[in-house]
Amino acid sequence: MAEAEVGDDVWGDDPTVIELEREVAAMLGKEAAVYVPSGAMGNQICVRSHTRPGDEILIHERAHVVVHEQGGAAVLSGVQTRTLPGAGGVLDLDLLERELRDPADPHHARQSLVCIENSVGEMGGLVHPQEAVERVAEWAHGHDMALHMDGARLWNAAVASGRPPAELAAPADSLSVCFSKGLGAPVGSAVVGNAGFVAVARRNRKLFGGGMRQAGIIAAGALYALRHHVQRLADDHAHARLLAERLATAGRLRIDPERVQTNIVLGTVTDGTPAPDMVAELVSAGVLCASLDAETVRFVTHLDVSRGDVETAIERAGAVLT
């Protein structure tokens, strides 16, 4: 990063940023990409680029865009979200069909976008089944809607499923992919799609305050992560599975190891302790984790956590949870 060749990315002449954008677009089988500071900004840029004020987007009720982005779709793009349930974060076609509005009826908002997520963070990093993605894409395109994929953890989904990232990305019109989660880069995500869409997204990046100057310094970290840290995600997945299997019998948490597909482990509190209080106990014992809601504790493995670290965490957490 210290030796990165830089320019001015707002003017489009930072060579390291350009290299990163070309490489991530090629990996995902798309025409172009634009580097953005965060995944949340990437998602919101895509929402704005696909819609106009007054539109409605169809999205799962536990999607990151809904739960973790401060109502950004409404605030930044003037669109409303029609949130839908679905097992494992997957949208059901029958339910989508029931929620379809007649575009010729002036009483209804124009439905212009469907959003999905892969892997599904709120569901413990479950991989979105490719067949389901393809069905939703076909449905959306058949009703003149675009499909956006929040692919912050797409790299995890690719490694876990054994499918190339480009195959997972193919049905989507746009994606936001993250370099700073499992890949471990310090900063950044990318918005990816066809060249015309990315031109609009680049303009909206500037509107949202995401234009950066000598961004090659941080893009170099993202580029290194993209080249060297994708396949090693399998280690994180194995560590998460080990953690889940060894803590599955802990008395105060219920963990199903079969639901651990990537690097996230969710445990349901069984003794009535509020999850934030249990998290405080675990942190005091040296095991960093977080509460997903009032009843769920969330553990995440990553490149800074070795197998030995996982063994230590199992020992310390076990003392708290039994």
Q: Model confidence over 139-173: pLDDT tens digits? A: 999 999 999 999 999 999 999 999 999 999 999 99
Q: For strands 80-84 and 264-269, give the pairing.
A: unpaired
The answer to whether position 3 is within a domain reads no
Contacts of 70 (CB under 8 A, 6+ apart): none
The answer to whether position 2 is within a domain reads no
Query: 156 and 31 in one domain?
Result: yes
Query: 108 and 154 in one domain?
Result: yes
Query: 275 and 137 in one domain?
Result: no
Q: What is the CATH number of the domain that holds 34?
A: 3.40.640.10
109 in Cβ contact with 134 (< 8 Å): no
Q: What is the pTM of this model?
A: 0.96
Domain that holds residue 142: 9-228
Query: For residue 251, what pLDDT is reported?
Result: 87
E strand spans, 179-256: 189-193, 253-254
Query: 211 and 142 in one domain?
Result: yes
**Tens digit of pLDDT for each residue in 85-140?**
999 999 999 999 999 999 999 999 999 999 999 999 999 999 999 999 999 999 99
The answer to whether position 150 is within a domain reads yes
Query: 174 and 191 in one domain?
Result: yes
Under the banding of pLDDT at 50, 70 and 90, the label for residue 49 is: very high
- Whether residue 250 has pLDDT greater than 90: no
Structure tokens at 243: 């953690």
Count of structural domains, the chain: 2
Per the DSSP assignment, residues forming a β-bridge with 113 are 57, 146
The answer to whether position 15 is within a domain reads yes
Boundary residue ending a domain (228, 249, 282): 228
Query: 163 and 95 in one domain?
Result: yes
Query: 205 and 278 in one domain?
Result: no
pLDDT over 70 percentage in the chain: 100
Q: What is the CATH number of the domain that holds 239?
A: 3.90.1150.10
The answer to whether position 134 is within a domain reads yes
Boundary residue ending a domain (169, 204, 228): 228
Mean pLDDT of 30-41: 98
CA 150 to chain centre: 5
Radius of gyration of the chain (CA): 20
Query: 287 and 180 in one domain?
Result: no
Under the banding of pLDDT at 50, 70 and 90, the label for residue 249 is: confident
79 in Cβ contact with 54 (< 8 Å): yes
Query: 287 and 164 in one domain?
Result: no
The answer to whether position 4 is within a domain reads no
State the SS3 of 126-187.
ECCCHHHHHHHHHHHHHCCCEEEEEECCHHHHHHHHCCCHHHHHCCCCEEEEECCCCCCCCC
Query: For residue 208, what pLDDT is reported?
Result: 97
Query: For residue 137, what pLDDT is reported?
Result: 98
Unique residue bearing structure tokens 């990553």: 302
The answer to whether position 51 is within a domain reads yes
Query: 260 and 165 in one domain?
Result: no
pLDDT over 90 percentage in the chain: 99
The answer to whether position 1 is within a domain reads no
Query: 244 and 219 in one domain?
Result: no
Rounded to the nearest 5 percent, the helix, strand and coil shares of the chain are: 45, 15, 40
Boundary residue ending a domain (206, 228, 250): 228
Query: 223 and 89 in one domain?
Result: yes
